[in-house]
Amino acid sequence: MPLLIDGHNVIGAGVFEDIRLQDEDDERRLVDRLRVWKSRYPGTITVVFDHGITEGVSGDLSGGGVRVIFARTPQEADDLIRQRLRRPARGLVLVTGDAALRREAAAHRVPVWRPHELVERLGRPRPVRRPPAREPGTEEAPLLSEQEVAEWERLFAARARKRRRRAQGRGPSRSAPRRP
């Protein structure tokens, strides 16, 4: 499900405590947040901003699964979004709080998430906390699901059967040298 995000509208909605339109690097901060979310979101993410230092696709900000587009003068981000709504990608979802864009999306049967819904659906990224270093040999055993345990049991049972056949002389010939 591709997301088309009205960048400055999302920032201006106040859904992020640490990103404001007045910030010099507000676009970069939003894109960084979207990249974190992209790591667990299967669809494409395109964010469109009003005029910036660059125009068109931003090579500096695009990456990590997020495509960043700045409107070219005299266009606004809303104009670019409207163009994409007229020929929407399959499963496209628009993210905006702008009433006019929401109406346009409805006319083209494109679902809309408001900025707070984006945050609710993709979740606020939590700070990365590294666990304290453990002394070697004190690590906990990983927890495996029943399905994973069954798969390992099948794998080891198959290897044991092969070894028994070889030991009984029913396996492949040992005349060829063994590879490490």
Q: Where are the beta strands (DSSP E) in the chain?
A: 3-6, 45-49, 56-57, 66-70, 93-95, 112-113
pLDDT for 130 equals 58
Given this model, what pLDDT does residue 161 score? 84
Cα distance between residue 85 and residue 110, in whole Å:
7
Contacts of 161 (CB under 8 A, 6+ apart): none
- Residue 71's alpha-carbon distances to 94, 98, 116, 130, 149, in angstroms, are 17, 17, 24, 40, 53
Query: Average pLDDT per run of 10 along the chain, which is 180 residues long?
Result: 93 90 88 87 90 64 84 85 91 94 94 92 61 65 77 82 80 54
pTM, full prediction: 0.65
- Give the per-residue pLDDT at 54: 61
User: What distance in Å separates the CA atoms of residue 172 and residue 36, rounded to the nearest whole number?
Assistant: 50
* Residue bearing tokens 């900000």: 61
Instruction: At 84, list the tokens.
Output: 């994409």
Per-residue model confidence (pLDDT) at position 11:
93
**Fold type of domain 3-122:** Rossmann fold (3.40.50)
User: Do you know the residue count of the chain?
Assistant: 180
